[in-house]
Chain A
């Protein structure tokens, strides 16, 4: 049985875990002292060697990303933290920032020092007022403590840190759209190349990292590479936050070594809710192709999930039991992608618009066998044809649900509509309305 490894979440049960005092009580801001005594390149090397990979979904090695920043180029460098967490099912960064914003700030100071950035931004989604308050307060307190601003900790390093608050656009989680948004434009993805490491924010070398990735850095600096590598699997090192939601007895956050399985996590969460069986689940948010009960023992690391035909993504494990209609689920996700399509490219803008109509017809029992072929062909004309990965994510639930539950789509036609009782899937079904 894999043991849980609370690191980022280690003190969330303390009433003041989000304050600077609460953070410092457990060794907070010690790692930054250590890092600032090192050469910046050594910090990069250490993070690189640790094997830390991006926790925002793509899994790109964090240290390598830092090393792409050209040094000695006489240009401003920027660090931008992606706290736009909006992928359906994903709910790890917001509780992290609410309960422990200082670990992010400490990580940002270290990362900025390493890449020689004197300006850093947190781009946080705008629909989380209280998380915004916590991060804003933490930044203010860090300034007061001499951890930000001119001459950080008296080490001659300057860092301005600005909290930038979004306003409702999932696409801004895509790093180039995020940069455009931060520059004051519509959040639409940019052409690459140039990559952000060469021309990012204000066309300057920029590192964009996920909250959890940066928040993991202080522990690596403090405890060392070996400690970090003692957790996880061969190519997926360290600990991470797994978020269980949906039809489980006890949903919540589980910080565990990479490679834990859903079977193990479900056991920790008290299993699928009483009297029900798992039907399908997402490994890392709605854009990662869904799995079924046949996939409970897949190691939840980057390689394991990919080998099974999906993606680790944000480790957002959404569990649905047999009361859930998969057509309804796919339709809702498709509606989400239609709502969030930025409009820039044809396949995503027009494709999601069309997909929603087709799925509505299917849900209403108006779809035929031929319509399923058309639906799949349409997915084929959208996936891999669009400007960014949003549309790939949009078709993932459709294609994967058709793969496992094709007959359920057709059952809607036979039944003249959805054969499921929507109330049966609700959390309060037993409690009454």
Chain B
């Protein structure tokens, strides 16, 4: 497998966004994940050629950032926030529950390749705790049961929609393309803001504290 001419052209367009080529390394790595699902040798070597740095330098960057995976992850990559607040609010229980349910641990993937699991750190949605991210989409206010249902749905090809996100959950590779800065046209789907985000506004409109 190698990159198609079209994919190589996309990579060129990513490089062209920046005043200096090297800056494109991160979106290019996201793009490689959108093609392969993880950072492959072909990906590293192609990036090395595109931005004219050594493959070692690309590796140095790709291994620094946790979103770049050196091994394939599931079609649905489930991140359970276990940072203090989410952990205390139920993240620990959710993680244990879903891990037992799937029979996989941190950074592991189900045999069918559908679901992988990761203990993630704070994802900037603390007012929606406990939070679970699937392919880096928000699943707010989760419970062990809701996450078990979520992964079951994902394995059956019928995952629920994110709480704040597009109408249907996209795959890991599809979302990696968005993270490479390429539009999938879904920006207008989903809510403007969740209820907690609007709480202060609502109270203010009601004239202060209730």
Interfacial residues, chain A to chain B (CB-CB below 8 A): 1, 3-6, 9-10, 12-19, 76, 85-91, 93-95, 98-99, 119, 125-130, 132-134, 136-137, 140, 162-170, 181-187, 202, 242-247, 250-256, 267-270, 286, 316, 318, 320, 324, 328-329, 332-333, 336, 339-340, 342, 422-423, 425-428, 431, 433
- In the A-B complex, the 3 residue pairs with the smallest Cβ-Cβ separation, listed nearest first, are A252-B199, A252-B196, A137-B187
Cβ of A3 and Cβ of B66 under 8 Å apart? Answer: no
| Cα(A93)–Cα(B145), bound, Å | 30
30 contacts between A and B (CB under 8 A): A3-B204, A3-B208, A16-B192, A19-B188, A85-B124, A91-B125, A95-B197, A98-B197, A99-B193, A128-B136, A129-B179, A130-B187, A132-B181, A165-B26, A169-B64, A182-B23, A184-B61, A187-B65, A242-B200, A243-B127, A246-B88, A250-B199, A252-B195, A255-B201, A328-B84, A333-B83, A336-B84, A336-B122, A426-B93, A433-B145
Task: Kindly provide the distance from the CB of B25 to the nearest chain A CB, expressed in whole angstroms.
Answer: 4
Cβ of A130 and Cβ of B162 under 8 Å apart? Answer: yes
| Cα(A315)–Cα(B44), bound, Å | 40
Cβ of A428 and Cβ of B126 under 8 Å apart? Answer: no
Cβ of B135 and Cβ of A129 under 8 Å apart? Answer: yes
Task: Kindly provide the distance from the CB of B106 to the nearest chain A CB, expressed in whole angstroms.
Answer: 12
- The residue of chain A having its C-beta at the shortest distance from the C-beta of B197 within the complex is A95
With an 8 A cutoff between CB atoms, is B30 at the interface?
A: yes
Cβ of A422 and Cβ of B208 under 8 Å apart? Answer: no
Cβ of A332 and Cβ of B84 under 8 Å apart? Answer: yes
- How many interface residues does B have (CB within 8 Å)? 87
Cβ of A167 and Cβ of B30 under 8 Å apart? Answer: yes
Q: Which of B23, B27, B188 contacts A137 (CB 8 A)?
A: B188
Task: Kindly provide the distance from the CB of A364 to the nearest chain B CB, expressed in whole angstroms.
Answer: 16
| Cα(A308)–Cα(B38), bound, Å | 47
Cβ of B203 and Cβ of A329 under 8 Å apart? Answer: no
New A-B pairs, 14, CB < 8 Å, besides A130-B162, A136-B178, A425-B89: A12-B197, A88-B85, A126-B30, A133-B184, A167-B179, A183-B22, A184-B22, A184-B25, A246-B129, A252-B195, A268-B208, A269-B199, A320-B85, A336-B83
